[in-house]
Amino acid sequence: MKINNKKRRKSKFQSTIINPTRFSTSQIKYYLILIPIALIMILPILYIFVTAFKPIDELTKWPPSFFVYKPTLSNFSDLFNLSDQTRIPVSRYLFNSITVSLITVILTIFISTLAGFALSKLKFKLNGVIMKINTIALMFVSASIAIPKYLIVEKLGLTNTFFVNIIPSLAMPVGLFLIKQFIDLIPDELIESARMDGASNFEVYFKVIIPLIMPAIATVAILSFQSAWNDTSASINYIDEDALKTFAYYLSTLVTAENTVAGAGMLAASTLIMFLPNLLVFIFLQSRVMDTMAHSGIK
């Protein structure tokens, strides 16, 4: 009787597995809930793609339609032609944004991981003070530090230079906090064993820490890229030359360059161009982000 009861309990448990390795009928009830939710969530993304290819008559149609019936590339050609008339091609703005975003992501990851390793595993006098300052910095919104930030940038002589798009963005308190908390989960014994084998601090950082915190690095990369790619503050506050400004700034001034109706198509096309890199970066790194969410509750 005991054996039969065990078999029944085992079979009952197997029939209610939430995430089996193969398709199971127990998953159907979850699909019935998740698929409609996924379809609703994907509608805004689909609308961005569809709107970019709508001709002007469909963009101004009332009531508006969701789908495009006569797709056209004229919105993109008008966008490039308009930038040619202003003597700064749109490719220049795109080049600036791509360059700024890539350099910012690489440097932010390096600074955040190196500082996180030092604050988590190295012992020095100002360790706790620096971490408290970083935690306090999380509470400030960008508007509250606009004036001190401008004064610092001006004192450093970065105004009206290409580097002003990059250097102010390297301070990322949330990235340092996330990396530091993730490194705290790494056992000290693992680092001590590496040091006993003759590894220096930099060797421990590159060969032990970095491979173990890749999920957190992916999350910081996404946050850093989105911040740099969508940022317009540097172009507005610190730069006068249009050739040094980014595509996000160009997008913010696009509607004012033409009237709202005529510029609707170009605005839709540029919105798609702005949205695509964010989508691709997240799709490429989303599995790592899910790993970060899973590890965040492990102590």
pLDDT confidence of residue 287? 66
Residue 170 has pLDDT above 70, yes or no: yes
Question: Do the beta carbons of residue 158 and residue 167 sit within 8 Å?
Answer: yes
Residue 214 binned pLDDT confidence (cut-offs 50, 70, 90): confident
pLDDT at residue 223 above 80?
yes
Confidence of residue 17 (pLDDT cuts 50, 70, 90): low
**How far is Cα 116 from Cα 219, in angstroms, rounded to an integer?**
14
Indicate the angle between helix axes 173-184 and 90-121, nearest 10 degrees.
Answer: 40
Q: Where are the domains of the chain?
A: 1-43, 76-295
- Note if the bond before 71 is cis, omega within 30 degrees: no
Give the tokens for residue 123: 């012992």
* pLDDT higher than 60, residue 161: yes
Can you tell me the mean pLDDT for 173-197?
A: 87
**Residues 118-139: pLDDT tens digits?**
888 888 888 888 888 888 888 8
Nearest to 267 by CA among 249, 285, 246, 251: 251
Mean of the per-residue pLDDT values of the chain: 80
**Cα dihedral: 164, 167, 169, 171 (round 10):** -150
Q: CB neighbours (10 Å) of residue 141? A: 7
Cα–Cα distance between 19 and 294 in angstroms, integer? 15
Q: Place 157 in a pLDDT band, splitting at 50, 70 and 90.
A: confident
- Residue 122: CB atoms within 10 Å: 12
Q: What are the angstrom distances between the C-alpha of 45 and each of 19, 56, 63, 283?
A: 28, 20, 20, 13
Q: pLDDT tens digits for 79-120?
A: 777 655 557 788 888 899 999 999 999 999 999 999 999 888
Residue 234 buriedness (CB in 10 A; 0-12 / 13-18 / 19+) = buried
* CATH 1.10.3720.10, domain 76-295, yes or no: yes
d(CA 172, CA 170): 6
Q: Please give the full DSSP string across 214-265, using - where no structure is assigned.
A: HHHHHHHHHHHHHHHHH--HHHHHT---GGG--HHHHHHTHHHHS-TTTTHH
Output the pLDDT for position 108: 93
Check residues 85 and 164 and name the one with the higher pLDDT: 164
pLDDT digits (tens, 9 = 90+) for 244-287: 888 888 887 775 545 555 567 778 888 888 888 888 888 877 76
